[in-house]
Amino acid sequence: MSLWLTYFRPRMLQMLLLGFSSGLPLALTGTTLQAWYTVSGLSVVAIGFLALVGQPYTYKFFWAPLMDRFIPPFLGRRRGWMLILQLALLIAIASMAAFDPHVRPTTLALLALIVAFLSASQDICLDAYRADILSTEERGTGSAMWIAGYRIAMLVSGGVALIMAEYIGWHETFLIMALLMLIGVVTTLCSPSPANDQARPLSLGAAISEPLQDFLKRPYLFAILLFIILYKMGDAFAVSLSTTFYLRGLGFSLAEVGAMMKTMTLIATLLGLFIGGSLMLRLGMYRALMLFGILQGVTNLFSVWLALVGKSFLLLAVTIFAENVTGGMGNAAFLAFLMALCNVRYTATQLALLSALMAVGRVFIGPFAGLLVEHVGWAEFFVWSFIAALPGLFLLRWLKHKINFEAERII
């Protein structure tokens, strides 16, 4: 029971609320914006181009050194940037409410691009702050609370925002979403500064080169970077075509899949995050990564069972629940691992680079996954998704005696 009490510490509430501030803008410039353009009668081609709005999240490591190097004149290096970007996001999201995609589609899209840029920049600062402020013992539970806040925010700015738009209109909805950024503003003002807040590179050139040099001189670096790519590869395989599998492979309707995934995914992910964060305190980082990684791979086999049985609501619920519980557990441990890799002088830049590397599987596995399904069918495809989880676990086992997983900084 004492493990669960750690979630009620003030630091954990802070992580939950800052995670909410991080997740809120994402859906507003993604699915919610697409829905607004769709009901306004814009063409499918125009709506398709809206996906380009999300590019700043992919390239954020290019300007991350600026936030490691420069310190605002108030609240210190991390909190100062956090406050500036949260206030800028409030203004930018509220500005979107002043336009209509039917009348000014390009202007609204450009504003969404600005929101995405500010949001990606906020993520740089928030990720660095989280890594700097959490102790070794708090990284598991802190990561769990952070992702929980992030997921709740995406539900609010995605699902809840669509319901609100139906009843009060799009403009009013975006104004309310803008005001919700005050949650992040108040949390930032009430949060402490990290002890190492003044430890920064001496110049902008150093802020760009020193984080890379710091990485390059570490032992077993390439094995660790390969592990970051491979650890969630099985998940990336399974998730890449999961919606298509439920709709086309099994014959569920959009409403059935939507209702099941909206409710079950959130509940299961939050449960997995809290279980994973708590167990990390008892297991330690290495054993948590190994156990959660094994469970992530094994639950992919539930989809094999579902593919063989066919359409079954009960089995669909069990599959979605199991995959998201173990995925949440793995995310809590993996995020703690990434934080432990960073040097406090360059946290913003190094964590931005590592998070971009972590996304490689999710971004590039889709085309290969589609070809694999075409050739082997759904059941065998999910067997391969289980196999794809194994190389990361073998590499983790090899790294066990090479690096100290339980240290304040792993390498």
Low-confidence ranges of the chain (pLDDT < 50): 1
Between vectors from CA 174 to CA 168 and to CA 180, what angle results, nearest 5°?
Answer: 110
**pLDDT at residue 187, rounded to an integer:** 94
Alpha-carbon distance of 99 to 93, in angstroms, equals: 11
**pLDDT at residue 1, rounded to an integer:** 44
Picking from 336, 381, 33, the residue whose alpha carbon sits closest to that of residue 241 is 381
> Residue 235 CB: number of other CB atoms within 10 A?
26
Alpha-carbon distance of 282 to 206, in angstroms, equals: 39
For residues 19 and 149, the answer to whether their CB atoms sit within 8 Å is yes
Output the six-digit token pair for 18.
């800052």
Residues forming CATH 1.20.1250.20 domain(s) in the chain: 1-200, 202-411
Output the six-digit token pair for 68.
């490691």
Picking from 150, 135, 200, the residue whose alpha carbon sits closest to that of residue 339 is 135
Considering the entire predicted model, what is its pTM?
0.72
Which residue reads 């009490």 in tokens?
5
For residues 339 and 351, the answer to whether their CB atoms sit within 8 Å is yes
Q: Which amino acid is at 365?
A: I
Architecture of the 202-411 domain:
Up-down Bundle (1.20)
Helix residue ranges per DSSP H, 180-220 = 182-190, 204-216
Query: What distances in angstroms separate CA 300 from CA 58, 239, 319, 329, one per listed residue?
Result: 27, 9, 8, 14
CATH 1.20.1250.20 fits 1-200, yes or no: yes
Picking from 277, 327, 328, 270, the residue whose alpha carbon sits closest to that of residue 302 is 327
**pLDDT at residue 217, rounded to an integer:** 79
Alpha-carbon distance of 99 to 16, in angstroms, equals: 32
